[in-house]
Chains A and B, each alone.
Chain A
Amino acid sequence: MLAAASLVTFLLVHLVPVDPAEAYLQASKIPVTPSAVAAARMELGLDQPWAVQFANWLWRVLHADFGFSYLSRQPVWQEMMTHMPATLELTAAAICWVMMLALPIGIYTALKRGTLADQAGRLFAYIGASLPSYWIGYLLLYAFALRWNLLPVTGSGTFAHLLLPSFTLALGHIAIVSRLLRSTLLEELNKPYVLYARARGLHERTIFWRHVLRHALAPVVTAIGMSAGHLLAGAVLVENVFAWPGLGRYFVTAVFSRDYPVIQCYVLLLTAMFVGANLLVDVVQIMLNPRLHAVKGGSRR
């Protein structure tokens, strides 16, 4: 899977109408003359057949060597690794927000079904799913940082810096996950085992917290795991709003200056993390649900 993905990543750059050699020269601020282009083609190995280029590239990628950035002339992999922790921190914090807010909201709206609180939750879900993250980021920035001076404006470093960007990133996912939890909880409550538990005389509270909630959490875990991948990708926009020194901002700069090695490295890295997150979800899913032990390898997707 990743091999095929790497082929696509490789082709992406080579099928685009702009010659990498020219992009290299432009990014390095060297005047684009025919002789300079020829020299750059030699230097970048672009004069060789595609298959050879791909094989060479793949071999180097397997050794975590993505070449040098056209812009900064530093090894791409090292630069990626310096930007990586910031993005991971942001994503992890966003997942914390999702768990901290989506679970209580989902449980509360399921228990108070049909009340005003439930309707409010519904409205929140619709709005939350329709918000452009960068826009709400700016509005939060305006309110908390510029108007009330409660939190720092942009940058990173302290816990206070982390609050706004991670909440911005998480907001849409909070809406979706809380709604999902509510509907699975209501579905579970209608199942026969709940009736049986009631007949056994178990306390409503025990039934809900010990049994129903546990069953309803499985799809929620899947949703949170899947959203981890989307959060990593969504960080591109949020990082640009809050000047967060992560992968996303690095990548957008690279896209604008056609820094091909950086683009390739980012796409491949993110795809690997995306696939990895989905794989992790499947594993956790099997651990949570003993019924899936029997059909090992029988993927749920």
Chain B
Amino acid sequence: MRVFWRNLWKRHEARVGGIILSLVLLAALFAPWLAPHDPTAIDLSLKLQGPSWDYPLGTDHLGRCVLSRLLYGAQVSVGVAVLVMGVTMLLSLAIGLLAGYAGGWIDAVLMRICDVLLAFPSLVLALVLAGLLGQGLFNMILALILVQWVGYARIIRGLVMEARQRLYVQYARVAGTSPLRIMTSHLLPGLLPQVMVLASLDLGSVILSMAGLSFLGLGAQPPTAEWGGMISDSKAYLLGHPLLMAAPGFMIVLVVMAFNLLGDALQDSFDPTRQGGELDGA
């Protein structure tokens, strides 16, 4: 494990990504202490002010402090994305393990469901689900999980089917270990590295789709501070106050890029034969 971390640290993608993410996570955690103002305090006499000592990034159309909203927004944007990814992965692991290990009709039924769901463009499906369930943060989370699990379940199933043939699993079966125990204590540990890579590679895209849905008005509802919603709020003031638009989007780009960098680096460290990541090339 020590070697793994050292290898990871050697890659500068991992260093850059890791540092950015740690900073953002710290900012999100300590937002109540770092933020100079209440992110939802409305004061129309202070609306649309430029940067000043009191308001380092100015104020929005309702006189709320942009910096404070960015800091609290990190809690929602990054926190919820991590939550979505965590639940999605648990669900995909359960379904993938079940389908891959049980095989037979269970596998056939689950995989046909996956086939059908994969035929839909995921952004559109998430939009429909979030829209039909009703606007709100919880419904958006639900919609994203329902859309995301499919692809991972499929990959995990493939990995399980491969692992099932291995001798240590065969041996456990002969020794009379219960299927549940084989899945949890023999198959699961081997899957975790790949699952971690998948999760970190895609966390960025989860943040992007979340912000996109919030931008359209689904997802986090006002007055909650959320980056996608902040972009949407500021579109009417684009001409006079471009900073209102630029700041939240810049944070999204920064965090998504950090996750992509870290994901690529993780992938390389787990699999030394692979040189470079998805965007990195040979």
Contact = CB atoms under 8 A, between A and B. Distances in A.
Contacts of B278: 179
B91 interface: no
Interface stretch (B43-51, B97-105, B178-186, B237-245): B237-245
Given A16-B133, A132-B212, A186-B282, A271 B117 contact: no
Contacts, number: 147
B131 A255 contact: yes
Interface string A164-196: 000000000001100100110011000000000
A142 B245 contact: yes
Interface of A: 1-2, 4-5, 7-8, 12-13, 16-18, 122, 125-127, 129-136, 138-139, 141-142, 146, 175-176, 179, 182-183, 186-187, 229-230, 232-234, 236-237, 240-241, 251-252, 255-256, 258, 263, 266-267, 270-271, 274-275
Nearest to A241: B235
Given A126-B279, A132-B252, A142 B132 contact: no
Contacts of B281: 122, 179, 182-183, 186
Interface size class of B (residues with CB under 8 A): 35 or more
B14 to A, nearest CB: 13
B114 to A, nearest CB: 11
Interface stretch (B30-38, B61-69, B255-263): B255-263
Shortest 5 CB-CB contacts between residues of A and residues of B = A183-B281, A255-B131, A135-B249, A233-B121, A130-B256
B238 A142 contact: yes
Contacts of B133: 16-17
A117 B55 CA distance: 39
B175 interface: no
A188 B92 CA distance: 36
B129 A12 contact: yes
Given A135-B252, A232-B121, A237 B215 contact: yes
